[in-house]
Amino acid sequence: MPKWTQPVTEALQADGLRLEDLDTSGTPGFSGDKKSGQQLLAERATVLSGLQERLYANGRSGDHRSVLLVLQGMDTAGKGGIVRHVIGSVDPQGVDHAAFGVPTPEEQQHHYLWRIRNALPRAGQLGVFDRSHYEDVLVVRVHNLVPPSEWEPRYDEINAFERELVEQGTTLVKVAMFVSLDEQKRRLRERLERPDKYWKFNPSDIDERAYWPAYHEAYQAMLDRTSTDCAPWYVLPTDKKWFARLAVTELLIDALQKLKLEWPPADFDVAEQLRRLEKA
């Protein structure tokens, strides 16, 4: 029976990892193949869904805690697939989803964390960020959208911001997703060959490929400088989509289990209400 040979939080940990050593087609910590991975995913999706329902139920009963999944990755890394296939297996009522693109004119008027603060998950919600505040030390750094003197202090600022979130009861699950340059080419080609995928394609995605080394440098700096004890990064190889989905499911299960969520107790006398119901 294929299984995890190591807890997913250890198998994907960013500490000390050099991106040039990452095998994007690997399945770190998991010994099974695609078929067994998909079988396990189906089982684990049910576990995730049950835990998320408890989070939601507790939120409705006054618990202020929440979980925030942060997905960072270059185009075609599979962020949308994680949202659809992993988050898609839980109750949509309990999900606060936000995707971050090029800042709008209104967003540009504000500090880069403004739009992030506005999109944070409410109590009891599973938040999902498709891209995030990290774009402000990734695309912004790679394309010199602001001078280094402006992006450089952001690493510390982001660490302080995330510490504050954690202290306020939000568990952060930060996942940095990586495909190989070859696999990205294959996925972009698919977007150009299939009318049902044209909508995902942006001609600038091809231009961005020339910046691959600069992006890797920026991603490495992000991992080195913002993987903290309270909000660690997990590095996810995503050439194999089934593995990416299984691994993120496990990361979320781990985060939710650590909250030790029970079903909220009744705030009424159950026996009395049953008696009333019988007479009604």
Residue numbers at the binding site for ligand AMP (CB under 6 A)? 75, 100-103, 131, 135-136, 139-140, 145
Site for Mg ion in 40-99 (CB under 5 A): 75
Q: Strands of 170-178's sheet, edge to edge? A: 95-99, 126-130, 66-73, 170-178, 233-237
Selection from ligand AMP, Mg ion, none that 239 binds (CB < 5 to 8 A by kind) is none
Structure tokens of 90? 């839980």
Distance CA 49, CA 121 (A): 17
Identify which of 257, 219, 243, 222 has the alpha carbon closest to the alpha carbon of residue 82: 243
CB closer to ligand AMP, 102 vs 274: 102
CB closer to ligand AMP, 17 vs 98: 98
Structure tokens of 184? 């990205």
Distance CA 59, CA 168 (A): 14
Identify which of 100, 135, 111 has the alpha carbon closest to the alpha carbon of residue 208: 135
We find the least distance from the C-beta atom of residue 103 to ligand AMP, in angstroms, to be: 5
Selection from Mg ion, ligand AMP, none that 103 binds (CB < 5 to 8 A by kind) is ligand AMP
CB closer to ligand AMP, 131 vs 197: 131
We find the least distance from the C-beta atom of residue 205 to Mg ion, in angstroms, to be: 6
Distance CA 69, CA 170 (A): 10
Selection from ligand AMP, Mg ion, none that 65 binds (CB < 5 to 8 A by kind) is none
CB closer to ligand AMP, 16 vs 101: 101
Distance CA 165, CA 104 (A): 24
CB closer to Mg ion, 12 vs 74: 74
Selection from ligand AMP, Mg ion, none that 1 binds (CB < 5 to 8 A by kind) is none
Buried/exposed code over 97-129 (b: 16+ C-beta within 10 A; e: otherwise): bbebeebeeebeeeebeebbeebbbebbbbbbb
Selection from Mg ion, ligand AMP, none that 148 binds (CB < 5 to 8 A by kind) is none
Q: At what angle do helices 154-167 and 212-226 cross, to 10 degrees?
A: 50
We find the least distance from the C-beta atom of residue 83 to ligand AMP, in angstroms, to be: 11
Selection from Mg ion, ligand AMP, none that 136 binds (CB < 5 to 8 A by kind) is ligand AMP
The residue number with the shortest CB distance to ligand AMP is 135
CB closer to ligand AMP, 8 vs 74: 74
